[in-house]
Structure 1
Amino acid sequence: MGKKDASSVKLPVDQYRKQIGKQDYKKTKPALRATRLKAEAKRSAPGIRDTILIVVAVLVFLLGVYAFFYLNLSTELDLDADMD
């Protein structure tokens, strides 16, 4: 018996959500389509953050290559100076 009584009373949150859903259906199809396309474009467009991360990654890689060659050449020069 308790379940029947509890299910008949709707929570205010559920009523609010139902009202929002009804208002959303009142929008025209072109407006809904435009909103969906705008959201998809925003998700798929590469942002400034992604570009900055790629540039930083390339710079770190180049710095690593430069450091590798610098350290290899400097140790070879030091060994040549010690032999003389």
Structure 2
Amino acid sequence: MGKKDASATNLPVDQYRKQIGKQDYKKTKSVLKATRLKAEAKKNSSGFKADSKIEDAFLVVVAILFFVVCVYVFFYLNLSNEINMDMDVD
């Protein structure tokens, strides 16, 4: 008895999906085919494209390396000036 009552009520999401399906069905087959071909062409276009996850990981690694190099250069320049001043004092 509980299952009948639960299935009788339609969720708004299900109603929305049905409306979209009806609108999509109204399109002609040629329009649907052209849309599908366009999406596939866009997916396969421009030869080699790096995966966005790989690209993001690469950018993170480069940013970390850049930060480490900047810190290294900062300390190197500060310490090299102090050493030179010590030598000039003699």
**For each residue in 1:9-48, what CA deviation from the matched residue of structure 2 results, as whole angstroms up to 9, or x when unmatched?**
1101100101100100100111111101100100111268
Q: TM-score, normalised by structure 1?
A: 0.54
Q: After TM superposition, where is structure 1 displaced by more than 2 Å over at least 4 residues in a row?
A: 46-50
Letter in 2 for 1:23: Q
* Structure 2 segments unaligned to the other structure (5+ residues): 56-90
Output aligned runs, 1:1-80, within 5 Å.
Answer: 1-46=1-46, 50=50
Match of 2:58 in 1: none
Q: How many matched pairs?
A: 51
Letter in 1 for 2:42: K
Identity of matched residues, %: 73
Alignment root-mean-square deviation, CA = 2.0
How far apart, CA to CA, are the structure 2 residues paired with 1:49 and 1:6?
Answer: 48
How far apart, CA to CA, are the structure 2 residues paired with 1:24 and 1:49?
Answer: 31
* Structure 1 segments unaligned to the other structure (5+ residues): 54-84
